[in-house]
Amino acid sequence: MELFVLGPAFGLPSIDAECIATVALLRFLDRKDWLLIPTHDDREGLPLLVSGSGQRICGFKNITRHLGADQKAGDGTALASFLERGAQTLLDISLYVSFENYSTTRSAFTQILPWHTNYILPPRLRAAARARTDHLGISSIDVDNVHEDLSGRTSSVDGMGKEQAFEVEAQKRASLLLPRKDTLRSLLQKPQHSAVFKLHALADNFFGPLQDMLGGKDFLQGADMTSVDCLACGYLALMLYPKMPQD
pLDDT score, position 229: 95
pLDDT surpasses 80 at 213? yes
pLDDT score, position 143: 57
Name the H helices within 49-190: 60-66, 75-82, 88-91, 99-110, 121-133, 143-151, 155-158, 162-177, 184-189
Omega within 30 of 0 (cis) for the link into 245: no
What residues form DSSP beta bridges with 9?
12
What is the share, in percent, of the chain residues with pLDDT greater than 70? Answer: 75
- Report the SS3 class of residue 36: strand
Residue range 2-30, pLDDT digits in tens: 999 998 999 999 999 999 999 999 999 99
Sign of CA dihedral 220, 225, 226, 229: positive
pLDDT score, position 216: 87
Residue range 154-200, pLDDT digits in tens: 444 444 455 555 555 555 555 555 455 555 454 444 445 567 788 88
Omega within 30 of 0 (cis) for the link into 8: yes
pLDDT score, position 73: 59
Separation between Cα atoms, residue 98 and residue 140, nearest integer Å: 9
pLDDT score, position 197: 80
pLDDT surpasses 70 at 233? yes
CA angle 178, 183, 187 (to 5 degrees): 110
Separation between Cα atoms, residue 17 and residue 247, nearest integer Å: 18
